[in-house]
A and B are shown apart, each in its own frame.
Chain A
Amino acid sequence: MGSRQITEKSLAMLRSLPRISLANLRDNPGAKKNTKRGRGQHGGDKHGAGNKGSGQRMNYMRLGYETGNNPFYLRMPHEPYYKGHHLRRQYPPLSLHALQSLIDKNCVDVTIPIDISTLVKSGFYNFFPDQKHFGVNLTDEGADIFAAKINIEVQWASEQVIAAVERNGGVITTAYYDPHSLFLLKDPKKFFQSGQAIPRRMIPPPDAIEYYTSAENRGYLADPEKISQERLKLSQKYGYTLPNLENEPQYTMLCERKDPRQIFYGLEPGWVVNLKDECILKPKDKELQDFYAS
């Protein structure tokens, strides 16, 4: 009975073996990850980083570097006409056609003077003073069909645009605002809710002074006498008869201008506007009055 002997032997061996427990169990292959890097025969060689290159050397190169080639971003020659482009004043455009459509849609009230605040309030124009935007550039697209009598204040306008506005009996002024004033004009409510006194508008920088003092551009710092002369000159150049402003029923509206230090129509620097109480507070202190008048 050989088979019986074998069975008994194996059973005896099983009985002598230790029972299965945590002490004699081993992890599944690959379940345990060694944090150490083997050396030599213990998994040395490439350590799983592949053969040569960025994988081994961890030299992930800087953006634009082309491993010794003349990089693309340096391959173009020097272009000096872009010099200082990040500092230049920008004037996001609004065409006369777009302005006409705003007026037709009654998004802009033409019975009161229009400034950049009005345009922003219409919801069809926006600008960002923090991105070097210094106001609106009224462009001449649609100058032929422009037919509104308005008193508008923009930051930049060409000769054609001035002619188009004045032909219809309107008035146009180009005015400079410093970025801080533009923030106020963009969102007056936010400013009034901050409970501060309205500041003064700052004077233009030296490189903009020529534009804003010249009567041809209808600058806000130009001599009014010269502006009226230029109005006549321009009408003769473009061949239209200049409507007489004094006979207009809206004469007072058309003649309304802001002071060079003023930011909002009808509100002087130094005033505090409270929207909750619907009141305006004016400074009485002599020193404050002098400061805001300077």
Chain B
Amino acid sequence: MNLCLRRNLLRPSIKNILRSATTTPEIDTSDQVVIVDDTEDTLARELEIEKKRNISRLAPAHFNVMNNRRPYEEPKIIAHLTVKYNRKMYGKYGITSGVNPSICWPSKTDIQEIQEYEAVAFPYSIPDMMHAAAQKRKDEILRIAQRDKEVAAKFEKLDQWKKELNAKIAKKAAEVEAVKQKKERLIEEVRRHFGFKLDPKDERFQEMLAKKEKEQKKKEKLARQEAKEKIMFAKLQQQNADSENASKKSN
């Protein structure tokens, strides 16, 4: 029974397929006058037919989206009342979305807020920034030039400084050497005095060394005094000679 029914159902579709496969042109029926029936009754019937044709089993919102309509005509959640959502609806579905496009622009308070933000985020104008950048570049160049100058001036003096430093080092070394020799000589003298090798840590040795050092100091002192007297004497002589000359001249 069932099978029979199916066969009956299939028949027209097979016919259609065959018709579309044929190359014979279809009979043009455009000459006939098309009568559009728009009474309430027929419209309702059409609507019902449309409803029956929709076998997608999609939710109404999804069906709308699939057919390029906005999903909901009435707001369902709080988010559907926001400006952002309404702008989106207008952007996506155009004027058919029923949204007034004036909401696409910021409101007066929005503009104020944007301006306030921009005043903080971009505090300098372009000419200001250009000026500051130029100044910074100039300062940097100046700094480098100054440093170069400094280095050049120092480089000129470098040879002299080197010489001075070397002389200083040599002098210091010579002084150290002299002191060392003096000490050695003293020790040698002490040894000669005793006539045999004596440990420098020995008490007698130390005593003798102190004595010798004292003598040496005395000698040095004397020498210095003598030198001083010599200078004084020379000075006096010079003074005498000068005074004599002066008296001669005055005579």
Contacts and interface: CB of A to CB of B under 8 A. Distances in A.
A276 B126 contact: no
A210 B104 contact: no
A155 B220 CA distance: 87
Contacts of A194: 87-88, 91
Contact of B124 (A192, A206, A276): A206
Contacts of B95: 274, 277
Which of A192, A195, A288, A291 has the most CB atoms of chain B within a 10 A radius of its CB? A195
B133 A193 contact: no
A194 B125 CA distance: 31
Interface in A152-200: 192-197
B163 interface: no
A221 interface: yes
B154 interface: no
Contacts of A221: 126
Interface in B83-133: 86-96, 99, 101, 104-106, 108, 111, 114-115, 122, 124-126, 129-130, 132-133
A137 interface: no
Interface string A282-294: 0101011001000
Nearest to B129: A209
B204 interface: no
B131 to A, nearest CB: 10
A257 to B, nearest CB: 16
B137 interface: yes
Size bin of chain A's contact surface: 20 to 34
A95 interface: no
B104 A197 contact: yes
Interface string B133-149: 10001000000000000
Contacts of A209: 126, 129-130, 133
B88 A193 contact: yes
B132 A193 contact: no
Interface string A196-221: 11000011001001100100000001
Interface residues of B, number: 29
A108 interface: no
A276 B94 CA distance: 5
Contacts of A277: 94-95
B87 A287 contact: no
Nearest to B108: A287
Contacts of B111: 287-288, 291
A185 B93 CA distance: 22
A206 B132 contact: yes
Interface in A240-294: 270, 272, 274-277, 281, 283, 285, 287-288, 291
A197 B105 contact: yes
Contacts of B105: 197, 270, 272, 283, 285, 288
Nearest to A292: B105
B241 to A, nearest CB: 77
A192 B92 CA distance: 8
Contacts of A192: 91
Interface string B59-83: 0000000000000000000000000
A219 B90 CA distance: 37
A272 B137 CA distance: 42
Nearest to B91: A195
A14 to B, nearest CB: 67
Contacts of A276: 91-94, 96
Contacts of A287: 108, 111
A209 B134 CA distance: 10
A210 B91 contact: no
Contacts of B104: 195-197, 272, 281
Contact of A210 (B86, B93, B125, B133): B133
Contacts of A210: 130, 133, 137
B227 to A, nearest CB: 63
Contacts of B122: 202-203
Contacts of A196: 87, 91, 104
A281 B101 CA distance: 8
A217 B9 CA distance: 76
A283 B102 CA distance: 9
A275 B130 CA distance: 40
B197 to A, nearest CB: 59
A87 to B, nearest CB: 16
14 contacts: A195-B86, A195-B88, A195-B92, A196-B87, A196-B104, A197-B104, A209-B129, A270-B105, A274-B95, A276-B91, A276-B92, A285-B105, A288-B105, A291-B115
Given A202-B122, A288-B111, 4 more contacts: A193-B91, A272-B101, A285-B105, A291-B115
Interface of B: 86-96, 99, 101, 104-106, 108, 111, 114-115, 122, 124-126, 129-130, 132-133, 137
The 3 A-B pairs of least Cβ separation, nearest first, read A195-B91, A276-B94, A195-B87
